[in-house]
Amino acid sequence: MTEAISHTSRTEDVVTVRAEEVLVEPPMGDVVMTLRDVAVSFGGRMAVRGVSFDVRAGEVTALIGPSGSGKTTLLRALNRMHDAVRTASVSGTVRLGDLDVYAPTTDATLLRSRVGMVFQRPNPFPTMSIYDNAVAGLRFNGVRKRALLDEAAESALIGAALWDSVKDRLKAHASTLSGGEQQRLCIARALAVEPEVLLMDEPTSALDPIATKRIEELVGELKERVTIVIVTHNMQQAMRVSDRCAFLLMGEDKAGELIEFGPTARLFSEPSDPRTLDYVNGRFG
Amino acid sequence: MTSVGTALPGPRGRGRRFSLPDNGYRAGLYAVALLVAALAVWFLVAIVIQAVPAFSTLGFSWIVSKTWNPAHGQFGILPFILGTLETTAIAVVLAVPIGLGTAVALAFLVPARIRPALSTTVELLAAVPSVVYGLWGLIVLAPVFHNTVEPFLTTAFGWTGLFGGPSRGVGLLLAGVILFVMIVPTMVAVSRDVIAVVPTEQVEGAVALGATRWQVLRKVVLPGARTGILGAFTLATGRALGETVAVAMVIGNSPYIAHSLKAPAATVPSLIVNNFGESTGTELSVLIGAGLVLLVIGVLVNSAARWLVWSTGTRSAGLELGR
Amino acid sequence: MTVVLEPPADPTLERRAAIQAAAASSLRRRKVSSSVALGVCWLFLAIAVVPLVAVVYYVLAKGLPAWSTDFFTQPTKPEGVAAGGVWNAIVGTMVITAIAVAVTVPVGLLCGLYLAESDSGVAATLRFTADVMTGIPSITVGIFGYIAIVRNFGYSGYAGAFAIGFIMLPVITRAGETAFRGVPHSLNEAAMALGARKATVARRIVLPTALPGVITGVLLAVARGLGETAPLLLTIFGNQFLQWSPSKPMEALPILIYNDSSQPYADQVQLAWGAALLLMVVVLVLSIGSRLLAAHLQKERR
């Protein structure tokens, strides 16, 4: 109970905190995104519902829960990735600042320049060089000026801790990078557009432990620059990287719902809901 | 049950079924394989041998000479080579963009429910015999070209100098268009296959960055399918180069170099098919030599196509290829 | 100790503003380009489909009226006389195709079996040869048929079958190889472990299992062979009389269409349409049939 904080990135160690520390929440920054009663269904079948919480600037918000609880579905609703699916229907309100994300007047492509995404498996464009990959988002959004492209690429690659290894081979194909490096390239690609929010869908699940560790460190460094919402099925990872967590669980009707939302430290040590307690204690995965 | 294998031939086991010993079996298969290989060799040798007299009597200049007048001993086949290249060029210039656009539409734009039906229809039409296309072209399309299309094109584009002479209906343009109609299914089928297998994650990656649909297609999907599309292009070109009867039926069969898209012309295959029956001696040898020239071109193009399609690992349209 | 949130570095904010400005100002242009490009794709789809549909429509519309009992039972009559039928052409096509199939299918399948079981350099060369053979222009195949058979034995159905067979052979070989390779190794190994000779295994296990794939390939090869015209023009010469014997010149449907299409007599042109419809129907039935069989085969495998 009076132990010092031992907060490591080794997977199995349990965090022990001092009693007083538990009660200190992360300071409440500005709200960047709000979700109210968000629900997603596919052809009438509900996938996730009743989700409401706020995403605050400069923080890492994690969506956690067992598989099938709708975490990824919810994440993808935040940048309107479900637009491409004909049978998908999203209800509730998602706001980015004062923009209603799902308003008919809101343009989805413009939205995605403000809310970026990194996927589970690294997906750099194979026909493009490292540089072209990094600036791909900028070019899609109509940026032409070479100076701006170069500046943004360098800043993004530095931010993704990739600059030093690639600065001399920017013209090389993206496929010459290792898996972990490719994922960091994808992060750089998303960062280059300077989004306000970065969505990450289990970004380390396809990577080896060393690469995973690097990216977790990166997430910690990046959160000041861009607000991060990360989906992870790895509880320890959530504990390591996130400031706040949203715990989702599949209900009886096979739809995911938000069980509890709050500061990570509190959620993992004194959660309000018994189901959260069960999950963080590993009673079900 | 099956019998125990031994090295001796002869009836074994139940019934009187004779089963070859393993050595005999393998030897038999090998023999058949060699037979087929021998057939291919025979093919090449026969054609080359029959073509030799043309080269020994006339040298090589006839391949690029432009006067075809057998009665006076002139066997220039340049007009026909040009005709082949020109009709193929017209067909391919039309088929590549239209075929690609159709493939994109079928892979991304058409509602999922009618997608399989529409794709199958287009592919099935690749199986329609070329002589049927030729018949349709001659009887249905030629009058339309004669009365409507060619006058219109002459008025609109006459300034390019490509549309001199009277509008006849039959001619270079009609032949090129019929060829286009025939090779479009090939172009569409193969392109659609390679476009559809571009991984979704790449498409999603581009979408998530704020790309419009066309930007995704142009920067991610089409480059990703690049090699396969090239393969489709070569396959279609190969088929156009070798096409005989449909072209022969609508090209007007004139042995002179065409100076206008509306002029009648001829191709190497149409030359051969029209003159083969009555020719003898040197002329016959020349015709066979022309067939050899065509063969070389056709084989090169087809081999390149196969290698390209294979190297991208796509499902090859193996059973429906060029005629 | 509280975490102090530093405000983001200025360059980031400036870049963000510049990027958002570029994005907003180019939005309209990008969306319009996208709509136009996709519209063009739709247009091209229409351009590709329309002529294909038109061909089928016209062949149906003009060919169906030609179909009558006479059409199917009478041979062609000389020009000028009221056209008879296409029975001699049907006979010719059937006989030639039958001979070609009878020879090519066994040889092609055995070849395919060889290729499926062997990965030697010889096999690779053979495979390559078969692929190259499918790309040979059909007119050149006709020339070969002429050289090989007609010069020595005259125009005949056999020459035509030879040429058509040459075209069908690589198709069947490759289809056979694919079908035989699809037979799971476990089946072969089990049979051989029980002591069966390879020939027995091939006959009792590989062939029956691969049969659907083989039939699919054969159907497609036949469909392809039926449509070939140029090789026949050089080898069977044509014959306006009914001729069952393949050692003589014969008539065939593609040749009839080719010749009659340019005739000034409306009757003869109509015969051509009728024959075209017949050819088209048979070829499409074979193609659709082979697809259905292939799909059925997929389901069975599950």
CATH number at residue C179: 1.10.3720.10
Task: Report the C-alpha gap between B222 and C249 in whole angstroms.
Answer: 51
HEC assignment per residue over A179-241: HHHHHHHHHHHHHHCCCCEEEEECCCCCCCHHHHHHHHHHHHHHCCCCEEEEECCCHHHHHHH
pLDDT of C2 reads 61
pLDDT of C242 reads 80
Architecture of domain A29-114+199-285: 3-Layer(aba) Sandwich (3.40)
| A197 shares contact with chain C (CB less than 8 Å) | no
From the list B29, B98, B320, the residue facing C110 with the nearest CB is B29
Task: Report the C-alpha gap between A256 and A45 in whole angstroms.
Answer: 11
pLDDT of C178 reads 86
In a domain, residue C25? The reply is no
Architecture of domain B77-320: Orthogonal Bundle (1.10)
| B215 shares contact with chain A (CB less than 8 Å) | yes
From the list B204, B215, B220, the residue facing A119 with the nearest CB is B204
Mean pLDDT across chain C, nearest whole number? 85
pLDDT of A19 reads 47
What is the CB-side half-sphere exposure of residue A77 using CA atoms within 13 A? 30
Nearest CA in chain B to C145: B43
pLDDT of C216 reads 85
Helix, strand, or coil here: C77?
A: coil
Task: Report the C-alpha gap between A269 and A282 in whole angstroms.
Answer: 13
Task: Report the C-alpha gap between C65 and C294 in whole angstroms.
Answer: 34
| A224 shares contact with chain C (CB less than 8 Å) | yes
Please give the full DSSP string across C228-281, using - where no structure is assigned: --HHHHHHTB--SS----TTS-B--HHHHHHHHTT-S-HHHHHHHHHHHHHHHH
Maximum Cα–Cα distance across chain B: 84
- Contact state of A141 with B206 under an 8 Å Cβ cutoff: no
Residue C155 has pLDDT above 90, yes or no: no
In a domain, residue C64? The reply is no
Which range is least confidently modeled, A189-193, B45-49, B280-284, C94-98? B280-284
From the list B112, B209, B224, the residue facing A136 with the nearest CB is B209
In a domain, residue C74? The reply is yes
Residue A211 has pLDDT above 70, yes or no: yes
- Contact state of A142 with C31 under an 8 Å Cβ cutoff: no
- With pLDDT > 70 as the criterion, what percentage of chain B qualifies? 88
Residues C60/C62/C66/C68 CA torsion (nearest 10 deg): 40
pLDDT of B25 reads 78
Tokens of C76: 């062609």
pLDDT of A24 reads 55
| B52 shares contact with chain C (CB less than 8 Å) | no
Residue A188 has pLDDT above 80, yes or no: yes
Residue A117 has pLDDT above 80, yes or no: yes
Question: Is the separation of the CB atoms in C170 and B43 below 8 Å?
Answer: no
pLDDT of B106 reads 92
pLDDT of A25 reads 64
Average pLDDT over residues B170-188: 92
Between C263 and A216, residue with greater pLDDT: A216
Mutate to test the interface with C, among B136, B239, B275, B307 (most CBs of C within 10 A): B136
- Contact state of B210 with A110 under an 8 Å Cβ cutoff: yes
Please give the full DSSP string across B135-172, using - where no structure is assigned: HHIIIIIHHHIIIIIHHHHHHHHGGGT-S-S---SSSH
Mutate to test the interface with B, among C28, C41, C104, C122 (most CBs of B within 10 A): C41
From the list C8, C12, C22, the residue facing A141 with the nearest CB is C22
Q: What is the pLDDT of residues A126-148, one digit of tens each?
A: 989 999 999 999 999 999 999 99
Residues B105/B109/B112/B118 CA torsion (nearest 10 deg): -30
Residue A99 pairs in a beta bridge with A96
Residue A100 has pLDDT above 90, yes or no: yes
Phi and psi, residue C84, nearest 5°: -90, -100
Q: How many CB atoms lie within 10 A of CB C114?
A: 26
Which secondary-structure segment (H or E) carries B35? helix B22-58
Enclosing domain of residue C86: 69-301
Nearest-CA distance C277 → chain B (Å): 8
Beta strands in chain B (DSSP E): 68-69, 74-75
From the list B112, B207, B220, the residue facing A125 with the nearest CB is B220
Average pLDDT over residues A222-243: 92
Nearest CA among B221, B231, B255, B217 for reference residue B82 = B255
Nearest CA in chain C to A30: C5
- Contact state of A142 with C15 under an 8 Å Cβ cutoff: no
Interface contacts B/C by beta carbons within 8 Å? 295
Q: What is the pLDDT of residues B22-78, one digit of tens each?
A: 777 788 888 888 889 899 999 999 989 988 888 888 888 888 888 888 888 888 888
Which secondary-structure segment (H or E) carries A262? strand A256-263
- Contact state of C262 with B249 under an 8 Å Cβ cutoff: yes
Task: Report the C-alpha gap between C257 and B26 in whole angstroms.
Answer: 45
pLDDT band at B180 (very low <50, low <70, confident <90, very high): very high
- Contact state of C22 with A194 under an 8 Å Cβ cutoff: no
Nearest CA among B318, B237, B303, B299 for reference residue C220 = B318
From the list B40, B249, B302, the residue facing C261 with the nearest CB is B249
- Contact state of C27 with A194 under an 8 Å Cβ cutoff: no
Question: Is the separation of the CB atoms in B249 and C229 below 8 Å?
Answer: no
- Contact state of A137 with B219 under an 8 Å Cβ cutoff: no
pLDDT of A15 reads 54
Nearest CA in chain B to A119: B205
- Name B205's Cβ contacts closer than 8 Å, sequence gap at least 6: A119, A123, A124, A125, A186, A189, B220
Question: Is the separation of the CB atoms in B243 and B154 below 8 Å?
Answer: no
pLDDT of B312 reads 58
pLDDT of C120 reads 81
From the list A110, A138, A224, the residue facing C24 with the nearest CB is A110
Average pLDDT over residues A242-256: 90
Nearest CA among A89, A76, A161 for reference residue A115 = A76
Which chains have at least 3 CB atom pairs separated by less than 8 Å from chain C?
A, B
How is residue A120 annotated by DSSP? S
Q: What is the pLDDT of residues B199-219, one digit of tens each?
A: 999 999 999 999 999 999 999
Nearest CA in chain C to A29: C5
- Name B35's Cβ contacts closer than 8 Å, sequence gap at least 6: C107
In a domain, residue C132? The reply is yes
Answer yes or no: is the ipTM higher than 0.90. no
Q: What is the pLDDT of residues B220-276, one digit of tens each?
A: 998 888 888 888 888 888 889 888 999 999 998 888 888 888 889 999 999 998 888
**Chain C residues with beta carbon closer than 8 angstroms to that of A99:** none
Question: Is the separation of the CB atoms in B272 and B176 below 8 Å?
Answer: no
**Chain A residues with beta carbon closer than 8 angstroms to that of B215:** 140
Between B11 and B233, residue with greater pLDDT: B233
Helix, strand, or coil here: C196?
A: coil
Domain spans, chain B: 17-59, 77-320
Task: Report the C-alpha gap between C1 and A273 in whole angstroms.
Answer: 29
- Name C79's Cβ contacts closer than 8 Å, sequence gap at least 6: C263, C265, C268
Q: What is the pLDDT of residues A7-59, one digit of tens each?
A: 444 444 455 554 444 445 677 778 999 999 999 999 889 999 989 999 999 99
Residue A39 pairs in a beta bridge with A91
pLDDT band at C39 (very low <50, low <70, confident <90, very high): very high
